[in-house]
């Protein structure tokens, strides 16, 4: 089973994935950002946005080629929902809390604004649903620990719990 663990930066993907490495030893966790940097799968760097410019089609092809003989993979990263996956888990965080998290990580004001807007508008959830209809689940990580979030991800992988998308709505806070 190939799983995409995605979400806006700051929602807890990397921290959750690191716990899943120990909790699900039969799965291999791939930190997608590290992979694309190591393999130089970017076309340049956008200094203004402090991010890599990634050709998603090239990334998808390279991931397929590189991991074709591996099974039970968890791809962690904000681009992982663009990959082929049997299951997509979107981590969500209230944009007000997300703003504080990103500021504490030293993100620029512009990058904080861009990511908070993306979360408020459900950008990654919508993209995930468009690409992986019927395979998407979402978890609100706003008021839970990383360990609890990892437990919910594990529940989803094991087929337990109700994490159907569409239950998380930040619009009342922002619109």
List, as residue ranges, the binding site. Answer: 10, 12-15
Residues 6+ apart with CB under 8 A from 167: 138
Write out the binding residues for ATP: 10, 12-15
Alpha helices by DSSP H, the chain? 13-23, 32-38, 56-66, 95-104, 109-120, 123-131, 146-157, 171-174
Question: What is the rounded CA–CA span in Å between residue 138 and residue 159?
Answer: 13
């Amino acid at each position: 089973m190939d799983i995409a663990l995605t979400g806006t930066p700051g929602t807890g993907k990397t921290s959750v994935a690191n716990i899943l490495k120990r909790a699900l030893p039969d799965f291999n966790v791939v930190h997608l950002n590290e992979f694309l940097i190591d393999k130089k799968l970017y076309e340049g760097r956008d200094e203004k946005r402090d991010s890599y410019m990634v050709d998603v089609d090239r990334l998808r092809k390279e991931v397929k080629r590189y991991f074709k003989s591996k099974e039970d993979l968890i791809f962690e990263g904000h681009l992982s929902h663009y990959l082929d996956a049997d299951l997509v888990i979107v981590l969500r965080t209230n944009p007000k809390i997300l703003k504080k998290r990103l500021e504490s990580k030293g993100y620029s004001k512009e990058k904080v604004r861009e990511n908070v807007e993306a979360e408020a508008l459900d950008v990654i959830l919508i993209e995930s649903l468009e690409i992986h209809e019927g395979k998407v689940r979402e978890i609100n990580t706003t008021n839970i620990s990383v360990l609890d979030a990892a437990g919910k991800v594990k529940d989803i992988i094991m087929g337990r719990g109700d994490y159907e998308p569409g239950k998380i709505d930040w619009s009342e806070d922002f619109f």
